[in-house]
Amino acid sequence: MKTAIVGAGAMGQLFGARLQLAGTDVVFLDTNQATIDVLNARGVTLQTESRTEHTPARAARASELDETFDLFIIFTKGFHTQAAVASIAHLIGAESCGLTLQNGLGNAERLQEYFGPSKTLLGVTDFPADLSAPGMVSSNSRGKVRLGALGNVPRLPNIAQLLDSADLHAAVEQDIRIPVWEKVAFNAALNTLSAVTGLTVGGIGADPHARGLVASVLEETLAVAGRLQIDVSRQRIEAALDNAFAHHTHHKTSMLMDREAGRPTEIDTIGGAVVRLGQDNGVSTPVLATLCELVRTAARPGDNR
């Protein structure tokens, strides 16, 4: 299955390398010429707790190509989704499928505009991915991928099998909205709060006031999901938060790192998306709404907020 990885950051390089090592024809699509040049020259080296693997890589800007792909996997930040998918429109064939494994809400709906409901998939993953340098990715072998669709996608089992055969531990979910919203609840609490306070995950876990805010954001997010009849599990989310507080004490969330670097944040596709859906469905989210406004206020001049 000829596959394009759209967004060759840490997660894109991890998934692209895994697929290519398993025999899939992969092309990395990105807009950063330095990343493209390094991938073409050096390939991707993947380090896990048990081994180091290397694969050559082919990378390009989408505008430089004139070919179609069977599968596109989107790994850009949520605020880039619309532009990213528009940039690959000329590469989408009649049978091409699009898969988003991005954080946040609304990405699958953007993909549906180009791929259609019967060829759009979404999912979540808990694989970590860190770049020590372009083309040098560290991860582990314990993560998994959970896949599904908002409509009927006949090729969903085949794509799950493709990812699973690449040691990405993929499985199909009957209602993919549940894991998506459980991850959104987790990120809405930790990302927004860390971006506002500058605290690491461990710092949030150690502060009773911060823990109280986490509990409030979780309560509000669960209320919105409940109004949308999405049967999320409070217990699973709380267990994930407790695990993060215990084992990721020095971790900075991506939103905090983006804010510190003066980059745009995903506030509008994570916490902000929950707030908007709450407003549309008559559910009040005062704590999360305030945290989102504080993130936007703290963004540096020139940020795309």
Helix H or strand E encompassing 144: none
CATH T-level topology, domain 3-172: Rossmann fold (3.40.50)
DSSP state of 300: P
Specify the pLDDT at position 300: 55
DSSP state of 165: I
Specify the pLDDT at position 111: 98
Cβ neighbours around 291 below 10 Å, total: 26
* Residue closest to 197 by CA, chosen among 213, 182, 184: 213
Whole-model pTM: value is 0.93
Residue-level pLDDT, tens digit, the chain, 305 residues: 999 999 999 999 999 999 999 999 999 999 999 999 999 999 999 999 989 999 999 999 999 999 999 999 999 999 999 999 999 999 999 999 999 999 999 999 999 999 999 999 999 999 989 998 889 999 999 999 999 999 999 999 999 999 999 999 999 999 999 999 999 999 999 999 999 999 999 999 999 999 999 999 999 999 999 999 999 999 999 999 999 999 889 999 999 999 999 999 999 999 999 999 999 999 999 999 999 999 999 875 544 44
CATH for the 177-298 domain, from 3.30.70.1400, 3.30.390.10, 3.40.47.10, 1.10.1040.10: 1.10.1040.10
Q: What's phi and psi for 125, nearest 5 deg?
A: -140, 150
Q: For the chain, where do the domains classified as CATH 3.40.50.720 start and end?
A: 3-172
Q: For the chain, where do the domains classified as CATH 1.10.1040.10 start and end?
A: 177-298
Specify the pLDDT at position 16: 98
